[in-house]
A and B are shown apart, each in its own frame.
Chain A
């Protein structure tokens, strides 16, 4: 594994980029560096944002110079070469597909020349990997979508996507944790709260977790 690219994002952050594609090996490198920097934070480290293929390192340039940060990142990323295989928890998430809960299920089915039932079957059969959490509190970006379900984003994003909505976009699927705007195709909704400040585990999913969707009926959704 060669050195990652270090791209300055202004004077107080750098993106450490390990690649340019969605790939579990690249993502593992990202989290290896994230975990090392979290375990041994250099003085002046402010915050870290891991993504599919890069780690944003926010730092205080009055304490930590760009050059020193670069050295630390290179030494850590050398150590993390060939990061250990880690398998997260398998989390099952109930989803009520279609109708009011998944208003785009039919749109996607028509676009992909599949039936709604086929979409549900394909989407709920796979096991997904949580590649990163971002956008809004607790939003999981899930990789591992069956290529038969690749569909583009909406041309015009919705102003309000209700919390719990399951969407697909390009090669990804994900779940909206809070009411927010959104441009993904909405195929279902889960009664599970992905972000809940009143719960001990505020965030339902963690990066590295694996997710499987279980189809449920509207009655099951209402009584969950």
Chain B
């Protein structure tokens, strides 16, 4: 069923879901929504399973028209969303009628929005996922970003409109100066004591060279004991590499599966949305926590969501 037509896609809009797992051993990146929390809550608000495909809309400038009556929700960046030019609340389920126009104007805080519709967007499954991997040219809509005039279909609604809005504590608090909690390792021993202290005390700014693959930061260089190269090994979502320049790179959704630079730490899962929403000029600080603490924070949040939905 045709559900929306894109009038303006903005700088980058792609179809994304929870990610493409099971093929990383053959070099296929996970991809998926950068901000998994906003993506998943949007889906749940639209009455979906939490694994259906949504649109990830980067930096606004987006307009689309609904081609039929449906439920939808917009989550993610702190922003202005309008339906037929009237401001509507985000993190809330809404009903759209055929012909209604949705526009996302700008983000006061945050770079990425998620548009979920009842039934989820229908694009072919590639290796078990509907996520777009731009560099590989597959997944999503023909492996590319959405363009003006694209029409997207959605599946049959499952249980739309059960939840109208979310309790405030579910909604991530995005910041232009996020403090990212990290678990040190697996190669923090390759960094000098001074370098480690720099990493945990300095401010780093998000540079223009950041995309869905990685977030490149600039700030005081972090020095290695001997050198930046390791025998190439695997990456996790949020792995922080320190290349020869000493400037941290946080590996994001479209990260390569394997890389050869020292990894100083990994961002705690609960804080990944904060860096997923960062854009150039944001200032980032790192705070080390233990693995148990990171897991407790994550488990607490997951329990909260499971109880509600």
Chain A residues with CB under 8 Å of chain B are 7-13, 15, 17, 20-22, 34, 46-56, 58, 61-62, 65-66, 132-139, 141, 177-178, 180, 195, 197, 202-203, 207
CA distance A178 to B27 in the complex (A): 11
Residue pairs across A and B with Cβ atoms less than 8 A apart, 28 shown, are: A9-B185, A9-B266, A10-B183, A10-B238, A11-B268, A11-B269, A12-B236, A13-B266, A47-B21, A48-B24, A49-B25, A49-B235, A50-B25, A51-B232, A56-B236, A61-B298, A61-B299, A62-B303, A134-B232, A136-B135, A137-B27, A137-B29, A139-B27, A141-B232, A177-B27, A197-B126, A202-B127, A203-B26
Residues of chain B lying within 8 A (CB to CB) of residue A133: 25-27
CA distance A136 to B26 in the complex (A): 8
Inter-subunit contact A12/B27 (CB<8 Å): no
Chain B residues with CB under 8 Å of chain A are 21-30, 126-127, 135-138, 182-183, 185-186, 231-239, 256-259, 263, 265-269, 291-292, 294-295, 298-299, 302-303
CA distance A34 to B302 in the complex (A): 28
Inter-subunit contact B25/A138 (CB<8 Å): no
Residues of chain A lying within 8 A (CB to CB) of residue B299: 61-62
Inter-subunit contact B257/A135 (CB<8 Å): yes
CA distance A169 to B259 in the complex (A): 14
Taking the closest CB of chain B, its distance from the CB of A128, in whole angstroms, is 16
Known A135-B257, A136-B135, A207-B25; contact A9-B232, beta-carbon cutoff 8 A: no
Inter-subunit contact A137/B291 (CB<8 Å): no
Known A10-B238, A15-B186, A137-B28; contact A178-B135, beta-carbon cutoff 8 A: yes
Q: A10-B268, A52-B231, A66-B292 are in contact. List 6 more A-B contacts (CB 8 A).
A: A7-B186, A12-B269, A47-B25, A51-B258, A134-B27, A135-B257
Known A7-B186, A8-B186, A15-B234; contact A135-B269, beta-carbon cutoff 8 A: no
**Residue of A7, A13, A48 with most chain B CB atoms under a 10 A cut-off:** A13
> Which of chain B's residues has its CB closest to A6's CB?
B186
CA distance A171 to B186 in the complex (A): 23
CA distance A207 to B238 in the complex (A): 26
* Among candidates A10, A51, A137, residue contacting B267 with C-beta atoms closer than 8 Å: A10
Residues of chain A lying within 8 A (CB to CB) of residue B28: 137
* Among candidates A8, A53, A66, A139, residue contacting B185 with C-beta atoms closer than 8 Å: A8
Inter-subunit contact B233/A15 (CB<8 Å): yes
CA distance A136 to B86 in the complex (A): 44
Known A52-B231, A54-B233; contact A62-B298, beta-carbon cutoff 8 A: yes
CA distance A66 to B292 in the complex (A): 9
Residues of chain A lying within 8 A (CB to CB) of residue B182: 10
* Among candidates A56, A66, A136, residue contacting B27 with C-beta atoms closer than 8 Å: A136
Inter-subunit contact B268/A52 (CB<8 Å): no
Inter-subunit contact A46/B21 (CB<8 Å): yes
> Which of chain A's residues has its CB closest to B267's CB?
A10
CA distance A49 to B27 in the complex (A): 9
Inter-subunit contact A11/B295 (CB<8 Å): yes
Known A10-B236, A61-B299; contact A66-B291, beta-carbon cutoff 8 A: yes
CA distance A103 to B207 in the complex (A): 32
Taking the closest CB of chain A, its distance from the CB of B250, in whole angstroms, is 11
CA distance A208 to B236 in the complex (A): 24
CA distance A20 to B23 in the complex (A): 24
